[in-house]
Amino acid sequence: MLQVRNPLLTIFKNYGDDFVERALGAALLLAATRAVEIGGIDTAAFRIAPTASRKIGGMREVIVKAQRRLGRKLAVSKMTLADLVAIADVARLLPRFAEKRREIQGRRRRSDADIAPLFLNPHWCVEPRKGFADLQCAIEEFFRIGELFH
C-alpha cells in the first residue's frame, strides 16, 4: 500500500504548481490501472452493452443489469485492494498534505526544471506486466510528462 500511496503524496507535495496536476493525474491513472491489472480483473465483465431488441431504460436499468451480471460480490486480490486503499488514502490525506505542500513550495529555491535532470531514470516502468510499459508511455505522452524531464 505504501509503495503506491507515498509516491503519490510525494508528487503532490513536491512538484511545482505548473506541473503537479499533470504528474498526479498520470500517476493516479497508472496506480488504478495497476490495481486492475495485478488483480487479473476481467474488465469486460463490467461493461454493459444494450441489447439490440430494447433500448436501455435509464441508469436504474443499467445498474440492475450490472448487478444481475456480476452478482453482489467479487473476489479481489489483497494486492489490488492495497493499491485501491492507497489511492483512497491519498484522497483522504490531501487536506493535511496541502499544508505541507504550501510549506515546501514556500521554501523552494529551485524549479522543477532545475531538479528534473537529477532523476536517473524517471520513465522506468516498475510494473513488469505485458503492455503496462506501453500504457505508461501513452499516459505520459497524453499528460506531457516528458516536457519536465527534457
Q: What are the pLDDT digits (tens) for 62-79?
A: 667 666 766 666 778 888
Question: Do the beta carbons of residue 8 and residue 28 sit within 8 Å?
Answer: yes
φ/ψ of residue 128, rounded to 5? -80, -5
CA distance 5 to 145: 20
3-state secondary structure of 92: helix
119-142 pLDDT per residue, tens: 877 777 777 777 888 888 899 899
Model's pTM, two decimal places? 0.76
CA distance 127 to 22: 20
> Distance of alpha carbon 95 from its chain centroid, rounded?
19
